[in-house]
Structure 1
Amino acid sequence: MKIKFKVQPYQTEAVQAVVDCFRGQPKADPARYRIDPGRLDQLQLSTEGFRNAEIAQTVDVLENIRAVQKRQNLILSDRLVPSAGGKINLDIEMETGTGKTYVYLKTIFELYEEYGWSKFIIMVPSIAIREGVQKSLAMTAEHFAQTYHRKARFFTYNSKRLHEIESFSSDAGINVMVINVQAFASTGKENRRIYDELDDFQSRKPIDVIARNRPILILDEPQKMEGPATKKALPQFQALMVLRYSATHKSEHNKVHRLDAVDAYQQKLVKKIQVSGIQVRGIEGVSAYLHLNDIEVSKDAAPVARVDMEVRMKSGQIRRQPRRLERGANLFALSRELDQYQGFSVTQIDARSGTLEFSNGVVLGLGEAIGDVTEGDIRRLQIRETIRAHLQREEQLFAKGIKVLSLFFIDEVAKYRDYSQPDEKGEYARLFEDEYEQLKAEALGRFDFDNPSYHQYLKSIAASETHNGYFAIDKKGRLADPNVAKRGTDKGLSDDVTAYDLILTKKELLLSFREPTRFIFSHSALREGWDNPNVFVMCMLKQSDSSISRRQEVGRGLRIAVDQQGERVDHPAEVHRINVLTVVASESYRDFVSGLQQEIADGLSARPRQATEAYFTGKQLATDAGPVEMTAELARELHRYLIRHGYVDNDDHIAEPYHQARAAGTLAELPASLQPYAEPVLGLVDSVFSGASLPMPGDARKPSTNPLNQNFDKRAFQELWRRINQKAVYRVDFDTEELIRKSVPTLNKDLRVTPIKYLIQRGTQIEGMTDDDLREGRSFKVGESLTETGESAHSSIAYDLLGKIAEAADLTRQTVARILNDIEPSVFAQYRQNPEQFITEATRLIREQKATVMIERLTYDAINEHYDTDIFTAGQTGNDFSRATEKLKRHIYDYVMPDSEVERAFVQALETAQEVTVYAKLPRGFLIPTPVGDYNPDWAIAFDEGQVKHIYFVAETKGSMSSLALRGIESTKIDCARKFFAELARQVGSKAVRYDVVTDYGRLMDVVGARQVG
């Protein structure tokens, strides 16, 4: 698979902010100069170089910067803030996971297009980030080529490949050099070569040749490059300007763009965070070990708690084992009379609050552990919780084509890979495999009607194959700690780049279901510089490290996920239902969240803290008609409005009532003068910092059960269920002649094949080429290209045309031959243009016609079997409550997890409709067999009809009723369902059960009313 890139408005805004700082700069070809030829005895002639043109004196950079800042309501700069890198320094703040690498790569192309600047150096603080940037350059090359019709030439600086600097200087196109600070700011012999006159570089200093280009420096994570050695080295690059990209700037310069953590979360540009804390409670006088894993709920039984506790084995040994506890369970007896459990009898299991209470007053919450809890116990619990969270997310997302990855941060390789053991498995590897096998067996034991393909996927991957470690590698091929590698190459360690092969250079492979790796163990020092969009669970298996913030660690998993087609899963209605990052911390939920929020708050230095008249005055409001300035009068009106309705406190801080009303859509009406600009005005208020505006991570250990309530036992629902729970089988009297008659005109009308196109490029061998040119594939230069249309490149292959279509459409070769023989010659002629697409499209169209013929001759027969009520409680662990509605009054469950915004709106309407007695979102196990696969209807509804007791209805909700929106297999299943319920009514006498497809509740009532009249 390939990750696909698309133009995003928020990224374009960040690019434009930089470009607009140089408005007035004339676009010019790169300035020409003569590259220093070095020693004359090298017999190398001086070649022509191309450097960035100087900023024109007519360009008022400061005024441009202020215009950009004013447009974004940033603090206005009163001067150009210099740095060691040069006079012009622009800060671009972008939250981790929002694509800052993509943004500065696009900025490179825009600066070239607008002003002709072509020499860029991307500086990074580590090898991990360097490799990530290199990968991004390669992955985005085709994307940018489609937009800008050119490619950038890029390379990583290496003191042993200095000829690349020569090419960097002599090429007039876009040239990008990637360099990590160690290559020029460290004292090692190899790192000092950049400042030395080198015999193998014609007695020149590489830094001098680089500096002549007047490059534009792009600093990726500049806060990591503020050491004295780096600051001393930067002036030698003689940069035209410095662009600084980070989520957490340490030194402030001229900030021209801000997309901070609050912006990114509110705009749904990053994942939503859940935290699963492992809290150890030291209850005085209690030494009994207990850990509450989960609480199971079912309709016909009381809640059951799953705990880990100590048990005396028959051999006399004491081991920790899982146990299921019901109300009244005596732990003293269950442990085979271990004294520490005296007084521990279960008095209450509360699935709502997620608590387990004992007769001695001890209360245990989900994820909590008490008693003799060691660090090893905590690590095991963390690993278990990570696997549990992974499997839950994986089961939810597998059908959407999204591969789930989990990341463990550890602080010592030996805990994962122990080379003193025969199998080389460390403590964490063994713990992982033990816990994985147990949780995998539990997951496979949960019968899921709708997800057999996921269960097959889960069964196909062995525990030993699904985890891997990524660390530095020594020259014996063994994993090594990065801190060992730092002590020097004389210890026998190779370059750290080997550590990041799969997670960086083969990122697409890791995202594919073909790659069995789903759990990654890596070093805690692996911070900025790499991430993967499909990290959904993150676990901190290490001691607390003050040098690595929670925000840095969490940032590795914030990027929006992609599916198997490489597409971002960022539909506004689903982005925060699918994109949820679970962090398994070694501290309590409350401690982790408060620490994370404090770090986010500390990083919001650019946000104002008070909603005052002075702050509002002069700010710009973006409207469709163009920017509107907040005059002093408008600012006064807004400030008075906030005070009058209690939306600010006495110190002009945004108060909680504002956030509550804003979220609920119940804000007081704005003054008339502000109403034309309502949204930008409220956006201006939202930009003021308050603690309530910070992203609030959810608690991943909240109860994940959704028990049936008293509505399930209502007579109306039980009667409705009795009428629809009949099982049936179908029969089809298939007519081949009718299929042929319908398929031929359909193929003549709709079969369209795109011809294969070829790109023809002509090139000329360059003069004066060197051995390096030959090795690097630069011996020819493309002069022109031409796109032509012709026959398929595979047209000479003898395709089994009849066999391919017959197999895919489940027909005989004879039937397919008759269909193809009768279609128009011009339609069949398309086969030679593109055989593969011809076969695919012909198969699709024939299958659709086959389904139509089958439906017309489809009949259902009731059998002596019924669905049991167990299907309502099957799979009641692991619900995705991130999609849940508010607590409901008329549904048979307390909550519904809608699959779409259409369903969410439908639920809201059912809840407020007085004529609805009870309703249910039918469980996945309720299936109607059809020739094109089992069908699961959406809703069962009982209406109160007044004098007539009830109307019973089964409904399917769809966003559109058009034939284009309901075609193919989906439409076929719906047609089959119509026949099923009609036959059921005829054979069983369920005349009051109706079925139809509706777009919303209003349409449902139209159908119910029409049927009632009829």
Structure 2
Amino acid sequence: MKIKFDEQQYQLDAIKSITDIFEGQTVKVSNFTVSMGDIVGQEITELGIGNKLELSESEVLENVQKVQIRNHLKKSMSIQDWNFTVEMETGTGKTYVYTRSIFELNKKYGFSKFIIVVPSVAIREGVYKSFQMTEEHFANEYPGQHCHYFKYDSSKLEQVREYSTSTNIEVMIINIDAFKKSFDDPEKENKANLIHRERDTMNGKKPIQFIQETNPIVIIDEPQSVDNTDKAKEALASLNPLCKLRYSATHRDTYNLMYKLDPVDAYEKKLVKKIEVLSVNSDDDFNDPYIKLLNVSNKNGYKATVEIDEKKKNGTVTRVKKEINPNNKNNLYLLSGERELYRGYIVEGIDCYPGNEMVEFENGKVLKLGESIGGIDDDLLKRYQIREAIRTHLDKEKRLVHQGIKVLTLFFIDKVENYRVYPKGQPWQKGKYAKIFEEEYTSLIKQPKYRSLFEEDQYISNQSAEEVHDGYFSQDKSGNYKNSKVAKDGSLRSNKDDESAFELIMKEKEKLLSFETPLRFIFSHSALKEGWDNPNVFQICTLVETKDPFTKRQKIGRGLRLSVNQDGQRQYDENINVLTVIANESYQQFAESLQKEMEDETGVKFGYLEEQSFSTITLKDEVTGESKEIGYDYSAKVYFFLVKEKFLDKKGRVENKLKEAIAAESFDVPDEFKEIKQDIKRVIRNSIKKLPIFNKKYEVDIKLNKEVLLSDEFNQLWNLIKYKTTYSVDLDSDTLTSRCIGEIQKLDAFKARRIKRENALLKVDQSGVSGEGQTMRVYEALEEKRRLPDILRYLQEQTNLKRRTLVDILIGSKRLKDFEKNPQAFMEAVMKIINREKKKLIVDGIKYERIGDHAFYLQSLFEHQELVGYMKANAVEVSNDKSVYNYIRYDSSVERAFAEKLNNDEDVKLFVKLPSSFVIDTPLGNYNPDWAVLVEKERVETLFFVVETKGSTDQEDLRLKEDGKITCGRKHFAALENGVTYKLANSYEKFKTGI
């Protein structure tokens, strides 16, 4: 099978955020445009063909700031060593984004030399596999742009010469360790990577010199693991990069942040699987002495951390962690708040020898690392975890097998011997987890509810328990599994044995997705930190006995990507895309821990605002007309207004009063902030977002009520709204021309290429040479007339308008002098205006017409959906006979309140949340209305409504595309001419007004 790739808007936005850095660079025209020379954006040197940047640093910085303002990010004040950062949540297609950016940078500017630097050989394999998987896709998207990609191999250094001399797109994929050793120390040349050694076959030059001459664009994949040392930073600088593009979900340093898709945005926009937590843990009854050994250490004296039950001052007992040692913190009776159960538990000794870690007590009790006294047996808890993981897996298979979706489950373990044992001189044997898995799997599949899964026509009908699970671990020379070495930060301390296992899992991504491969349950080392994931991992179960160095975010990242079917098509149904985490802690503990990790990694505290939170909001400068950030002082004014109004407490925590005002659209600001009110609301909404993690304990099956589906009321409502329409567009070119002229005339003045003069007094001291008292002046360059690109052909390609219309727009705008100053920037600005105004006019001029009685949606739309919801999170129970389902699943607080009031209103006889497959065609994409409602007024008149619920009904507050779809929806239902009223409402009261 081959995975197919779809174009996603957020990915295009991320790509554009990078390509716009070079706006104004001479464009590389298409084959159908007047030639501007064979090589554009390239420079021929002695050693090959390299990238050539024509923009000045100040011009690039100006572009960077424009992108940052557009994306509501903090504005950079310098280029920061030409580093540009893209932050994207795991599973959202980071590799796809930077790969497509390569094609776009070549298409727009002619850049052709790229190097992708990765942290390890394993991730290098994953990136190379991604290029193979997307090769056909990009060949179709960019015909005629040949891309040659290869893995750097020190035994094939001739590839470096070919890389430097080729005129095609060249992409080298290299791990940082391949070029960071002794590259600048002549005395250590014999220990240096081969890339830094002189070669006779290269006329006495070093391979690195060929790379340096190409001035490559360097893409750093997971920079927090690549340039995390001074030596690594120097190695990257030795490539002589034109710039460095940095991609990760968890950056340590965010130089020039250009685009940000954080975890909450990714979950809310359904770009990754939603997460549900299934807790498997024992109740704490506090009736026995409970002690669990969590870790030991001999750093600064022998000590250990244990978990015990402590009596608090108010008499309640709570499970807590305590540090103990053989000297002054050795008596658990005292540490437990003098609980009699712990009398006699006095620490006698602590052993820190690897493999023999333990604590001995004076009463003769011995506690080994990971073991507990008084609690439920750890192996029994692990058995329950494995059982629940298999049960959840089989439940999902029942739902998804008929849709051609293979389900995978991933178990994380910390020691190979728990999965496979190698007795000396004997064949390997199953470890305890392998045995438990086969016992539980064999028992569960015999249950009647899973009988249909094992019918002869199913792909798993003849698979034995032994066939369906396997391990991915490092292997020694004998082929035996072995433990990987892991650093304190959770990164893999790799060696060749480790890499072999990870290369295997990287290369078999598509094979694992096929029904033909029996493997469905994967056991692996916790060191699967980054670089590997699989879209069809639906369950993750952690069976780790000792302190775990891996974060929850690292683990769930292995299964966040949206799933695919057997045809390789991505699945966007949120009912399918649910990742279940089988945790050995409570839902509350898991959610809080994951949220804290995200706060630590992103620097954003959920539910809080700070004085500088609003500083990136922009206002137009009345003098220059340019958009400028409001800055810290203005932001602080907004912040203290919120504190004064008791919307925030003194520490900046968002109060319920503010949440309710935002949800009810009653939030207002003083006149001095009116101009930025919508931006203030946007910042507040972002701060009060929550991670959508669901508790499986509250999961409910949303079942179809067939009696309602077949009722007269439902048929009456459905027969009015079910008909399909077709639309036509009357685009008035004169109106379009005049609108475009008006908008182009409002554009800020375009600046020609500039010359920068800097003046500084050099200061020389022990710290080196530095500049003092720097001054800078910028002049507009008076250049000879350059050859201008064919603006009409460019605009025709980008807008699909006739040449005559384009000529009228350009001449009428009276701005062609700006085209001479900065051709590329002017062409792109005009193109954006034309396309925006064209969209507006299309919606204004659209006409819908009912196709006829034969074209309509079937009631079976409701029968085909298999839905689940979560009480207290996204599901509302519905009264009998009032809707076609027993629960309504909502997407927002507005929808929840609307559903509850529909359910409780006696005038409402029937209401339905329209299925996602009920769509209206529009030129802006498919539109799915929210509700269909049947209301009986004063027990006499029956009224029928289709309702769209939004947080705001203000036209200015709704985005152009969203507002356009709503307008199309209104025109569609009007065209049915059968008495259905279309309403837009932000509350139930708004809906009921006027009925």
Q: How far off is 1:164 after superposition? A: 1.0
How many residues matched? 678
Superposed CA offset, 1:350-381 (max 9, x none): xxxxxxxxxxxxxxxxxxx9964232222212
Whether 1:264 aligns to 2:266 is yes
TM-score relative to the length of structure 1: 0.57
- Counterparts of 1:229-628 in structure 2, within 5 Å, are 229-285=231-287, 372-420=375-423, 422=427, 424-442=429-447, 444-445=448-449, 456-483=458-485, 496-500=498-502, 503-543=505-545, 545=547, 547-570=549-572, 574-575=573-574, 577-605=575-603, 616=614, 619-620=617-618
Structure 2 residue aligned with 1:32: 44
2: CA distance, partners of 1:548 / 1:55: 45
Q: Compared with structure 1, are the counterparts of its residues 404 and 236 closer, same or farther at alpha carbon in structure 2 (3 Å cutoff)?
A: same
- Counterparts of 1:666-745 in structure 2, within 5 Å, are 667-668=666-667, 682-687=681-686, 689=687, 692-702=688-698
Q: Compared with structure 1, are the counterparts of its residues 628 and 652 closer, same or farther at alpha carbon in structure 2 (3 Å cutoff)?
A: farther
3-state DSSP class of the match of 2:402? helix
Asked if 1 retains the 8 angstrom alpha-carbon contact of 2:277 and 2:695, the reply is: yes
3-state DSSP class of the match of 1:515? coil
Asked if 2 retains the 8 angstrom alpha-carbon contact of 1:279 and 1:589, the reply is: no
Whether 1:197 aligns to 2:193 is no
Q: Compared with structure 1, are the counterparts of its residues 133 and 665 closer, same or farther at alpha carbon in structure 2 (3 Å cutoff)?
A: farther
Asked if 1 retains the 8 angstrom alpha-carbon contact of 2:540 and 2:581, the reply is: yes
Whether 1:99 aligns to 2:111 is no
Q: How far off is 1:426 after superposition? A: 2.2
3-state DSSP class of the match of 1:219? strand
2: CA distance, partners of 1:53 / 1:282: 67
2: CA distance, partners of 1:14 / 1:513: 34
Asked if 2 retains the 8 angstrom alpha-carbon contact of 1:286 and 1:371, the reply is: yes
Q: Aligned to 1:144, which of 138, 148, 151?
A: 138
Q: How far off is 1:3 after superposition? A: 1.3
Q: Compared with structure 1, are the counterparts of its residues 696 and 515 closer, same or farther at alpha carbon in structure 2 (3 Å cutoff)?
A: same
Q: Aligned to 1:888, which of 872, 878, 885?
A: 878
Superposed CA offset, 1:858-880 (max 9, x none): xxxxxxxxxxxxxxxxxx99988
1: CA distance, partners of 2:680 / 2:473: 50
Q: Compared with structure 1, are the counterparts of its residues 631 and 892 closer, same or farther at alpha carbon in structure 2 (3 Å cutoff)?
A: closer
Whichever residue aligns with residue 120 of structure 2, its letter is: S
Asked if 1 retains the 8 angstrom alpha-carbon contact of 2:599 and 2:606, the reply is: no
Q: Compared with structure 1, are the counterparts of its residues 910 and 208 closer, same or farther at alpha carbon in structure 2 (3 Å cutoff)?
A: same
Asked if 2 retains the 8 angstrom alpha-carbon contact of 1:472 and 1:485, the reply is: no
2: CA distance, partners of 1:462 / 1:627: 68
Whichever residue aligns with residue 697 of structure 1, its letter is: I
Of stretches 13-22 and 164-173 in structure 1, the one that deviates more from structure 2 is 13-22
Q: How far off is 1:1001 after superposition? A: 10
Asked if 2 retains the 8 angstrom alpha-carbon contact of 1:74 and 1:606, the reply is: no
2: CA distance, partners of 1:5 / 1:12: 13
Asked if 2 retains the 8 angstrom alpha-carbon contact of 1:560 and 1:579, the reply is: yes
Q: How far off is 1:173 after superposition? A: 1.2
2: CA distance, partners of 1:100 / 1:568: 16
Structure 2 residue aligned with 1:736: none
Superposed CA offset, 1:480-507 (max 9, x none): 3333999xxxxx9856554246642232
Structure 2 residue aligned with 1:911: 903
Q: Compared with structure 1, are the counterparts of its residues 454 and 26 closer, same or farther at alpha carbon in structure 2 (3 Å cutoff)?
A: farther
3-state DSSP class of the match of 1:74? coil
Whichever residue aligns with residue 52 of structure 1, its letter is: N
3-state DSSP class of the match of 1:578? coil
Q: Aligned to 1:127, which of 121, 137, 151?
A: 121
Asked if 1 retains the 8 angstrom alpha-carbon contact of 2:874 and 2:889, the reply is: no
2: CA distance, partners of 1:180 / 1:520: 27
Q: Compared with structure 1, are the counterparts of its residues 50 and 686 closer, same or farther at alpha carbon in structure 2 (3 Å cutoff)?
A: same
2: CA distance, partners of 1:567 / 1:479: 34
- Structure 1: gaps (5+ residues): 36-48, 82-86, 289-368, 487-491, 722-875, 922-940, 952-956, 960-998, 1004-1014
Q: How far off is 1:627 after superposition? A: 11
Asked if 2 retains the 8 angstrom alpha-carbon contact of 1:88 and 1:242, the reply is: yes
Structure 2 residue aligned with 1:112: 106
Superposed CA offset, 1:548-574 (max 9, x none): 22211111111122222322222xxx4
Asked if 2 retains the 8 angstrom alpha-carbon contact of 1:909 and 1:1001, the reply is: no
Of stretches 397-406 and 111-120 in structure 1, the one that deviates more from structure 2 is 397-406
Whichever residue aligns with residue 654 of structure 1, its letter is: V
Give % identity: 37
Whichever residue aligns with residue 591 of structure 1, its letter is: Q
Superposed CA offset, 1:616-657 (max 9, x none): 4672499xxx99878899989977995697543345543334
Whichever residue aligns with residue 383 of structure 2, its letter is: R
1: CA distance, partners of 2:19 / 2:82: 13
Q: How far off is 1:154 after superposition? A: 0.6
Q: CA RMSD in A?
A: 5.4
2: CA distance, partners of 1:944 / 1:620: 49
2: CA distance, partners of 1:685 / 1:945: 39
Asked if 2 retains the 8 angstrom alpha-carbon contact of 1:620 and 1:627, the reply is: no
Structure 1 residue aligned with 2:362: none
2: CA distance, partners of 1:272 / 1:651: 31
Of stretches 666-675 and 406-415 in structure 1, the one that deviates more from structure 2 is 666-675
Superposed CA offset, 1:892-944 (max 9, x none): 9997367999x9999879835647899999xxxxxxxxxxxxxxxxxxx9999
Q: How far off is 1:545 after superposition? A: 4.8
3-state DSSP class of the match of 1:594? helix
Asked if 2 retains the 8 angstrom alpha-carbon contact of 1:26 and 1:56, the reply is: no
2: CA distance, partners of 1:484 / 1:553: 15
3-state DSSP class of the match of 2:275? strand
Whether 1:8 aligns to 2:41 is no
Superposed CA offset, 1:816-875 (max 9, x none): xxxxxxxxxxxxxxxxxxxxxxxxxxxxxxxxxxxxxxxxxxxxxxxxxxxxxxxxxxxx
Structure 1 residue aligned with 2:152: 157
Which is higher, the Rg of structure 1 or of structure 2?
A: 1
Structure 1 residue aligned with 2:318: none
Q: Compared with structure 1, are the counterparts of its residues 76 and 946 closer, same or farther at alpha carbon in structure 2 (3 Å cutoff)?
A: closer
Whichever residue aligns with residue 693 of structure 2, its letter is: P
1: CA distance, partners of 2:88 / 2:885: 37
- Counterparts of 1:856-875 in structure 2, within 5 Å, are none
Superposed CA offset, 1:21-43 (max 9, x none): 222333524211233xxxxxxxx
Asked if 1 retains the 8 angstrom alpha-carbon contact of 2:599 and 2:605, the reply is: no
- Structure 2: gaps (5+ residues): 28-39, 183-187, 291-371, 489-493, 713-865, 914-932, 949-977, 983-995
Whichever residue aligns with residue 20 of structure 2, its letter is: D
Asked if 1 retains the 8 angstrom alpha-carbon contact of 2:221 and 2:248, the reply is: yes
Asked if 2 retains the 8 angstrom alpha-carbon contact of 1:919 and 1:942, the reply is: yes
